[in-house]
Amino acid sequence: WASGMPSDVEYSPVGEGLGMREYWLYVWLRRAAAIAAHVTGLGLTIIIGLMSRPGTSLFSWHPVFMSVAYCLCMTEGILLFSAEVSPFCCKSRKFKVRLHWFCQALVLIFGITGLCFMIASKNLSEHAHLVTWHSLFGVGTLVATVVQAACGVCLMFPKLSGLSSSLSRLKLYHATCGLVVYLLATMTVVLSMFSDWFQATVKGAAWWALFVLPLFPALVVMNQITNSYLPRKKVTC
């Protein structure tokens, strides 16, 4: 306290109250979850790419570019900050931030490219635009990605944006909005599995397996961001 009086609450660190055995089990479970998130993002991208048979039509490139953008690049761009398992855990924070920016730039490039292929395919077949929940969430996700990138620019150049005095708060907003964008992207991927194209390609148990896959990296990303930026739980004395 500013007045020098002792506080009646204290912040509890993660894992407090656990025995050594339970603590290490908790740590290894988190590491296993982070590894599985990396594998799931890459695996889902490869599966969707193979299913799409790129080059067979204009539409075939849409799921390819979108899966690379959001299932792979955005997932890896967030998980590289993971404290549990990251290929760049020994690198400096500055290096990670630059790599994060590179991944997010690829998200924008691949996402806009995928959208262009979708628009071209719709125009060629003379089908209406924005008539499904998947398409509506997809456009919303791409717009949110652009807004999030603009927020990231302000973080990279705080003096130019005039927000240097509220940098810590801006970092919190950036992380929170990033989580919202990732959840929107996950919802868009899940909704794509209800499309005629996807259900005609995948059926039965395989469909349910692919339906669950995007949810797992989303849980890991949510856990990572909330643990990194939300205040620790207060424990009353």
Compare 233 and 191 and report the one with higher pLDDT. 191
What integer pLDDT is reported at residue 119 of this predicted model? 94
**Can you give the pTM of this predicted structure?**
0.83
The arithmetic mean of pLDDT across residues 181-208, rounded, is 94
Which pairs from 223-227 meet CB under 8 Å and 24+ separation? 223/30, 223/33, 224/34, 224/78, 224/79, 224/81, 224/82, 224/83, 225/78, 225/175, 225/176, 225/178, 225/179, 226/179, 227/14
Interatomic CA distance for residues 144 and 162, integer angstroms = 22
Provide the residue type at 189 as one letter: V
8 A C-beta contact, residue 183 and residue 41: no
The arithmetic mean of pLDDT across residues 3-11, rounded, is 39
Of 137-141, 148-152, 163-167, 181-185, the one with minimum mean pLDDT is 163-167
Return the structure tokens found at 70. 């959001």
**Which of 21-25, 35-39, 226-230: highest mean pLDDT?**
35-39
Interatomic CA distance for residues 96 and 88, integer angstroms = 7
Residue 233 has pLDDT above 80, yes or no: no
Question: What is the set of domains in the chain, with CATH numbers?
Answer: 43-228 (1.20.120.1770)
Residue 77 has pLDDT above 70, yes or no: yes
Tracing tokens 């499309």 back to the chain, one arrives at: 195
8 A C-beta contact, residue 79 and residue 220: yes
φ, ψ at 236 (rounded to 5°): -75, 145
8 A C-beta contact, residue 65 and residue 110: yes
Compare 219 and 26 and report the one with higher pLDDT. 219
Give the single-character DSSP code of 166. G
